Amino acid sequence: MKDKVFIIFNFLTVQFFGILVTQKFLKKNIIIIEGGSNPSTSFYLFFTILIASGFVLLLVKLNLSRFLYYFVDYFGLFFMNYYVFAFFIGIYPSIILSLIVVFIRYKLRKWYILNYCTIILSVGVVSFLGTSLKPLIISILMILLSLYDIISVKKTKHMITLADDVMEKGGSQVFRAKLGEETIVIGAADIIFPNLLVISVYYNYDLISSLLTSFFSLIGLLLVTKFYNREGVPAMPFASLGILGFLIASLL
């Protein structure tokens, strides 16, 4: 039960704040990626992710991955925290708050601090890309990533290697919680991409369509908990259930 509550909390938190920030982006007409309606963009992003994964895996093999995690956790955290809160509290208060958050992240390595960092980074990503990519493009990308997730978890197992390294080095690339004797972990991408689809549907269609997409995405993520007792469960195929919700909404 705890794992389900943990997934629901993180999924809906990223979604809620992602939509709030996205609305600010829309008012300012901010577009991060051009060509967000071109199907080739899906393949471009997919191969970019493959190259990035290979680079991180190389750093893990060379025992240098901690430096990448430090960069993401401090510079990335400051940058995302600043942009998320600058829309609501202004530039200078946001800078001060971001510096405080980075300092707390440096001094305290508790799971809830790390989880907050992962939430902020995720909100930033879905907000930046949600207004740029069309739902079809995200759907194609999620299907490609689902196939990659299955291969990288079940066949090559290098995704498990990356996840173990993140946990060992204390990076913010996974959502985590230590509840009693139980440690719950889910990859940030498994929360980011379904929420990216939800926000894109919200931006390009309507609230009802995005809610239906969100519902199916959440059901898919909760299904992952049925397989926690098995070693290595690719979560992206389950998270991609939101695509079905989007298709149903498109037909209504």
What are the tens digits of pLDDT across the range 47-59? 999 998 889 888 8
Domain residue limits at 52 = 2-251
Chain segment 76-129, per-residue pLDDT in tens:
888 888 888 887 888 899 999 999 988 888 887 787 888 888 898 899 889 888
Q: Give how many domains the chain has, as a whole number.
A: 1
Phi, psi of 179 (to 5 degrees): -110, 100
Q: Round to whole Å and give the CA distance between 177 and 192.
A: 17
| pLDDT score for 229 | 56
Q: Of the candidates 115, 131, 154, which has an alpha carbon nearest to the alpha carbon of residue 235?
A: 154
100-92-89 Cα angle (round to 5)? 90
Give the mean pLDDT of the chain: 85
Return all residues near 108 (Cβ < 8 A) that are at least 6 apart: none
Q: Of the candidates 233, 161, 208, which has an alpha carbon nearest to the alpha carbon of residue 7?
A: 233
Find out whether 176 and 185 touch, Cβ atoms under 8 Å: yes
Query: Per-residue pLDDT for 35 more than 60?
Result: no
Query: Tokens at residue 30, please?
Result: 């901010």
Return all residues near 21 (Cβ < 8 A) that are at least 6 apart: 83, 84, 87, 123, 124, 127
Task: Characterise 34 by phi-psi region: left (phi > 0), alpha (psi -120 to 50), beta (else).
Answer: beta
Burial class (CB in 10 A: 0-12, 13-18, 19+), 153: buried
Return all residues near 5 (Cβ < 8 A) that are at least 6 apart: none
Q: Would you say the pTM of this structure is higher than 0.95?
A: no
